[in-house]
Chain A
Amino acid sequence: MINHCDAQYRSDMTSHTARFFTSLAAAFIGLSAQAANLTVSAASSLTNALRDIAPLFEAAHPGTQLQLNFGASGALLQQIAKGAPADVFASADQETMNQAQAKGLIKTGQRRNFVSNALVVIVPNRASVAPGALSDLIKPAFARIAIGLPASVPVGRYSRDVLEAAKLWGAIEPKTIGANSVRQALDYVARAEVDAGFVYATDAALMASKVKVAFSVPTAQSIRYPVAPLTGAPNADAATKFVDFLFTPPAQSVLAKYGFGKP
């Protein structure tokens, strides 16, 4: 009798345990399988503008939920190349998008430039000296200069290219502090941990209370941001709609508000 009860108890426990783990597994899988999500991987400098555009897009396309993933364009490309389930890619430079295109990651026919930006040198607001030109940056007063890491951050490549063209890269490179994204470079300057930094005009405008623009840097190629739906997009239909949406007046006016120029 006792043995019987014991066996009964044990089989009850087993089925309870099985049910518990089944529901746990279901919950876990359910989390990752929400339909109608649209994932946009975008350059860090687009953070504020795209966060404002997201509710506009969702209102225009009910049922689609936008997930925004920001980072350095190069880092985003690596995520996508390794199979991240993104639908749209917006890069801060042509080179990163060209690499995505060469790897067959984007729908080439739908690649378009949607905004332009400008490179600026900024200094902390409280700085006593500000450089007037690139050549001033070699002075000892500018001991630390924040720059995006050229290997993965487009703004870093633009900055390196202009410094190389001015034959200053050799003198300035040892003083550079590499940042993982343009926003990190901006943060270093805002905290006055560096004496100057290279960022986009749109980033500098966001932190006007902490940083000031010393001068703008003309780039050999104009800085234009390309966007394209991805070939592996789980939500291809919405991806195309989102790219189209970026060219509509409501989206373009948000981008203009943050200082982005026409492509």
Chain B
Amino acid sequence: MDAAWIALTLSLKVAGWATAINLLLGVGVGYALARWRFPGRDLVDAVLTLPMVMPPTVLGYYLLVVIGSQGVVGAWLLEHFGIRLIFTWQAAVIAATIVSFPLVFKAARAAFETVDPQLEEAARTLGIRELAVFFRVSLPLAWRGILAGLLLAFARALGEFGATLMVAGSIAGKTQTLSIAVYEAVQAGQDDTANFLVAITSITCIAVLLSAGRLVPGRVLTRG
């Protein structure tokens, strides 16, 4: 059952990377949308939320068209750097990042909006620079809501299947994540393997949720 552990490690790696990228992107975009008023803000919010509501197959197709070796970005990468993204674990990270992005930026935006602007103003009157206001006032006050979003995003990235299968394929030991390994095992009628993988997945998810409870005491998950 070594293959199952490799699949688990890969799933954790992909979800970890996706969550780390979303920590930067989601918090940044969430803060920008919470603080700046500009025309079309609602439209931007809606477009950025799309990955959460769109079928994963649609997302997978978009990704193939963009980062595939004949796609706009994919062709450029291939020509200048000789990089082919499709069928790599990095492609799985890209898919997982996009799918879980709305969970982080939505939570971050809501969390920043609950931060009292007067506290930020008070900090400014004390002569603190804008960047320091963000890191010493806004972010600490919004942190619990953001963390809740990040945990949900990690869980979602761990379970990502459709778009990942389309752009990263199913290469054992390389791009075959837990959810894809389960699919393969069921398709091939290997019920023993499927049972084992499903058990590992369930235990992993429970472990993630339990450690989420430890990490974020109180009612954060319902507040997010």
Contact = CB atoms under 8 A, between A and B. Distances in A.
A is bound by B:
yes
Interface in A70-88: 72, 74-75, 77-78, 81
Contacts of B86: 193
B93 to A, nearest CB: 17
Interface residues of B, number: 18
Interface string A181-207: 000000010011110000000000000
A81 B189 CA distance: 9
Given A180-B170, A191-B64, A192-B69, A78 B187 contact: yes
Given A192-B70, A193-B69, A193-B86, A177 B169 contact: yes
B211 interface: no
Contacts of A144: 87
Interface in B74-105: 84, 86-87
Given A74-B188, A151-B184, A191 B171 contact: no
Contacts of B170: 149, 178, 180
A74 B187 contact: yes
A152 B70 contact: no
A151 B70 CA distance: 30
Interface string A50-94: 000000000000000000000010110110010000000000000
| SS class, residues of chain B in contact with chain A | loop
Contacts, number: 49
Interface string B158-202: 000000010001111000000000001011111000000000000
B187 A75 contact: yes
B68 interface: yes
B189 A78 contact: yes
Interface in A116-157: 144, 149, 151-152
Contacts of A75: 187-188
B64 A152 contact: no
B187 A193 contact: no
A193 B188 contact: no
Contacts of A78: 186-189
Most buried by B among A74, A78, A180, A193: A193
Contacts of B169: 177-179, 188
A152 B172 CA distance: 15
B184 to A, nearest CB: 7
Contacts of A188: 169
A149 B184 contact: yes
Contacts of A179: 169
Interface of A: 72, 74-75, 77-78, 81, 144, 149, 151-152, 177-180, 188, 191-194
Given A151-B190, A179-B169, A193-B69, 14 more contacts: A74-B189, A78-B187, A78-B188, A149-B187, A149-B188, A151-B188, A177-B169, A178-B169, A180-B165, A180-B170, A180-B187, A191-B64, A191-B69, A193-B68
The 3 closest A-B pairs by CB, nearest first: A151-B188, A75-B187, A152-B188
Interface of B: 64, 68-70, 84, 86-87, 165, 169-172, 184, 186-190
